Amino acid sequence: MKNQRLLVFYISIYFTGCTQMDFATQPGSEALRVKGGIQIQSPAPMTVNKVGVLVEGSCTKGFKVELSGVGNGSVSDSNLDCKDGLFSANVKFSDGDGIKNIVASQNMDVNGSGAWAQDNRDFLKDTLPPAVAIITPVPNSEVMANVTIGGRCESGLNVSLSLTGLGSIGTVPCNAGVFSHPYVLPGVDGAKNIVASQTDAAGNAGSDNKNFIKDTIAPAVAITSPAPNSLSRNGVRVGGTCEAGYNVELSGVGMMGTQTIQCTGGTFVTDVAYSNGDGAKKIIASQSDRAGNRGSSNRDFIRDSIAPIVKIISPAAGTATRGIISVSGNCETGLSVVVSGSALGAGTQTLTCSTGQFAFSLTPATPDGTKQIIAAQTDAAGNVGSDSRSYNIDTTAPTVRITGPAADSTYSTSVTIVGTCESGLNVVAGGSGAAGSVTESCNSGSFSITVNLSSGDGAKSITVSQADRAGNVGTDSRSFDRLSSTPVIKISAPTAGTRDANGLTLQGTCQVGLTVNISGDVSSPASTNCASGTFSVAIVFAGADGIKTVVVSQTNVVGNTGTDQRDFIKGVVNGYDVFNVTIGNPRVDILFIDDNSSSMEKDQLKLGQKFSSFISGLNGVDWQIGVTTTDCSAGTYGICGSLLPLTGSSGKILSPTTANYEKVFLDTVYRPETVGCQARGDCPSSNEQPLFASMTAMDKRASDNAGFFRSESDLAVIVLSDEDEKSNSPASATQASTAQNHFKGIWPSGKKLSVYGIIIQPGDSACLNAQISDSGGFAFEGNIINQWVNLTGGISGSICDGDYSSNLQNIGRQVRNIADSVELSKTPIPSTVRVVFTPSQAITWTVQGNRVLFSAPPPVGTRIEVFYDSL
């Protein structure tokens, strides 16, 4: 700032614009009138100059102009003429800056009146230049092309900026004592001199200049290691080249925070910690020079903190082995698997991981004991994944010894071997002399195993062994003799079922040298000798009258026993039948006699719809079904025992293999000739003959009905009718005994017959009345049919039942029961019946008429003997 300027105030009386001045005197004095005046017209008041000013003005002609005042240092002419009413003179300011008051006056004294005319004006002397200084940028600092020049200045004066050698930069105002001007330095890099100047109103010029270094080249910094996309776990050692003298700043989203390091010898290196989370990590290296130029380089790296997954899959941990271990597992493809551990001793083995798997074999290092195998993988990031398993190396076999029986001992079919062994391991007995291997546990150091000897008599070598978990096997062997033949003994006389009041002479064949033992229902003797391969001995029956089982046996040196037995009769028992089971599931041929008269439409439908209930009772039966009608007339529908063709399937015989057999049965028994026949007037015969139709069906077994009546098959006849046999002419009706005898005449033995009816049962008046009402007066109780049912052990149900399910299921079950039965040659007294199964069977039985019904079918090969007293 400039120095304070002196302010001097003058009080003057100006007379301007006057052409006449009047001076008044005190009363009584003489008045003086003077014309004219003086006035400073230029320069303007407070004109600033550092030396002086040219003062000009108007004056009164004829009077001298005198310039004076405190600011008047010197004047070129202090006594001026007023020429043409004007004056002019150069005034040099008195010393010292400040306000300079200049007075212009004319002595207007006329006649000694002493009157003056004057004018004065203040000017400002200023010899101090403006104070201007460049503050920013710092002198001699390095700057980029874009620079803002700023500094201090004298307010109110513009600041002129110029670049030495290149001329003016521009002019900016000085506000509040400061100036600022953005500028792009031209030309090449290097030293630049900038001048800032101010010139005040007095012409004083102040200036300042500063040198700056233009630098537009950024520092050269580059990351050179590690390679781009290098993998590491938690961080990376970053290195590179740089411009000496400037710090290197490392930053980026891949870092935990910014790091600053020195550039030494044109290089830098430092460890960088990655930011959280695996994946790509960008690291930026940058340098800024003093000019503000910033050079940078970046490189992406990969953080990978997940270790490879390597797993030993086999063998299982704790596996015991005596030799080579074959190890396999899963791994990360592309990385080597390094195997180490005590199983390898001090060494390691490097494997290739192919398609996610590795495998190798090794012979464990000695000695025996627990050995560890470690499989490890290290990825490019340095993450290490590993898995380990321990195995038990065991090359010592278990100790197992046979201690009994003595070698070369004789046995029939098996021998029980005892000995010592290693507890916790199974003992396996086998060898060429064994029928098969037998395994038992070793408890408290001992074992006992029963071994079946292989077929064929003679020496049998038996070996016992123990294998430990490592596969070491300890063995011991011993030889024994097998003598497996059983003495052959047979009763040859008398025949089974022979009856005697007290006893009889028993004869048979036997093995010489062995005693014949006699047991069973005998009181004496207990034994007899075998002479020349035969025996003959008189026996006495024990106990009361009835069936007596006599057993003969011989036992050889090794305890093999041969036996035979035969049943005889003591006293009055007079019934005896023998049966041999030659087939598995019982066979039953089932003949349905379907009443097709005009009143049977609803009943046929009910039968067909509930056929499944009938079949449910035949579980385990080999069945087949044929259907015929009650019409034995000479009319259109009189087929009389011939099987009807199946409706909806080929042939005449229905079996479990027939497709949709339930629907086929319904469509076959629901007769089209019955449905609506009264309206048509062409109904089948109403003189029903179910018994006669059954007989003729049997007679056609080799013609119309070929294939239906099978050998070794029972026969079941099921009658559906609302009338009895030939109800219209009962005198000529076929009787139940006639039908039964007809069956027996064809099959006197080996085939059982059972008859069933869905009829109006004898004495059921309610059902009879209902059927009469429904049929228009044509209905009869099934008396003859029911007689045949009872004669064969069958059952009957009511035709009036709304649902035939129960009736049909009961019939099916009874068919099955009779199939599981034998038919005796005589009708027995039930309490006297005794049944003997050979071989013995856990089957119960009941007596029904002349049949013995079993709780389950006896297996094929069973011999069934029935003893009884007949009626």
Same domain, 137 and 88: no
Claim to verify: residue 478 and residue 545 sit in the same structural domain: no
* pLDDT, mean of residues 147-173: 89
Radius of gyration of the chain from Cα atoms? 72
Residues 618-654 have pLDDT tens digits of: 988 999 999 999 999 999 999 999 999 999 999 999 9
501 inside domain = no
With 80 as the cut, is the pLDDT of residue 447 above it? yes
Look at residue 717 in the predicted model and tell me its pLDDT: 97
pLDDT band per the 50, 70, 90 thresholds, residue 353: very high
- pLDDT tens-digit series, residues 169-225: 889 999 999 999 998 888 888 888 999 999 998 899 999 999 989 889 999 999 999
Alpha carbon distance 779, 727 (integer Å): 9
- 770 lies in some domain: yes
> Do 292 and 317 belong together in one domain?
no
What was the pLDDT predicted at 229?
92
Two tokens, residue 770: 């209902």
Q: CA distances (Å), 781 to each of 760, 766, 798, in order?
A: 5, 11, 10
578 inside domain: no
Q: Give the span between the Cα atoms of 757 and 735, in whole angstroms.
A: 15
Q: What are the structure tokens assigned to 187, written together?
A: 């030309």
**Tokens 């104070």 appear where?**
131
CATH number at residue 172: 2.60.40.10
Q: Which two tokens stand for residue 248?
A: 């290197």
369, 474: one domain = no
Model pLDDT, residue 76: 62
Would you say residue 488 has pLDDT above 90?
yes
Q: What are phi and psi of 513, to 5 degrees?
A: 95, -5
- Tell me the two tokens of residue 235: 């961080």
Sign for the CA dihedral angle at 129, 135, 136, 141 comes to positive
Q: Give yes or no: residues 439 and 365 share one domain.
A: no
Same structural domain, 411 and 522: no
727 shares a domain with 637:
yes
Q: What is the distance between the alpha carbons of residues 415 and 413, in angstroms, rounded to a whole number?
A: 7
Q: What pLDDT does residue 78 have?
A: 66
In 126-175, DSSP assigns E strands to 133-136, 142-143, 146-152, 159-163, 167-172
Q: How many CA atoms lie within 13 A of 212 on its CB side?
A: 29
Q: Is the pLDDT of residue 291 over 90?
A: no
Q: What pLDDT, in 10s, does the model give residues 80-105?
A: 889 989 999 999 988 888 999 999 99
Token look-up 């006197």 returns: 748
Find the domain containing 200 and state its range.
133-214
DSSP bridge pairs for 794:
none
Full DSSP string of 644-694: PPPTTSSSS-B-TTSTTHHHHHHHHHS-TTTTTHHHHT-PPPSS--HHHHH
Residue 601 lies in a domain: yes
For 693-775, strand residue ranges (E) read 714-720, 753-759
Whether residue 259 contacts residue 331, with contact meaning beta carbons closer than 8 Å, is answered with no
pLDDT band, residue 21 (cuts 50/70/90)? very low
Do 713 and 758 reside in the same domain of the chain? yes
Is 386 inside a domain boundary?
yes
- Asked if 719 and 774 touch (Cβ cutoff 8 Å), the reply is no
Mean local confidence (pLDDT), 797-809: 93
**Nearest 5°: CA angle at 653, between 650 and 659?**
55
Final residue before a domain boundary, out of 170, 193, 214? 214
User: Is the domain of 98 the same as that of 186?
Assistant: no
pLDDT given for residue 34 in this prediction: 38
The yes-or-no verdict on residue 468 having pLDDT over 90 is no
Residue 4, domain member (yes or no): no
Q: Is the pLDDT of residue 718 over 50?
A: yes
- C-alpha to C-alpha distance for 715 and 387, rounded to whole angstroms: 76
pLDDT of amino acid 572: 63
pLDDT band per the 50, 70, 90 thresholds, residue 573: low
> Going by C-beta distance under 8 Å and a sequence separation of 6 or more, which residues neighbour residue 813?
617
Q: Which amino acid is at 263?
A: C
Count of structural domains, the chain: 8
pLDDT attached to residue 724: 94
Residues 6+ apart with CB under 8 A from 217: 189, 293
Q: Smallest Cα–Cα separation from 137: which of 192, 205, 75? A: 192
Do 281 and 428 share a domain, yes or no?
A: no
Say how far apart CA 359 and CA 352 lie, in whole Å.
9
Residue 538 CB-density burial (10 A; 0-12 exposed, 13-18 middle, 19+ buried): exposed
Chain segment 233-246, per-residue pLDDT in tens: 889 999 999 999 99
Query: Structure tokens of 170?
Result: 């521009």
764 located within any domain: yes
Residue 767 has φ and ψ, to the nearest 5°, of: -65, -40
Q: Does some domain include residue 528?
A: yes
Burial readout 201-219 (b: 16 or more C-beta within 10 A, e: otherwise): ebebebbbebebbbbeebb
| Residue 426 pLDDT exceeds 80 | yes
Question: Would you place residue 6 in the very low, low, confident or very high pLDDT band (cuts 50, 70, 90)?
Answer: very low
Domain boundary among 336, 370, 393: 393
Q: How confident is the model at residue 145 (pLDDT cuts 50, 70, 90)?
A: confident
Q: What is the pLDDT of residue 165?
A: 74
pLDDT of the residue at 113: 60
Residue 805 — φ and ψ, nearest 5°? -55, -50
Average pLDDT, the chain: 89
**Res. 31 pLDDT band, cuts 50 70 90:** very low
Peptide bond into 137 cis (omega under 30): yes
**Whether pLDDT at 852 is above 90:** yes
Write down the pTM of the prediction. Answer: 0.43
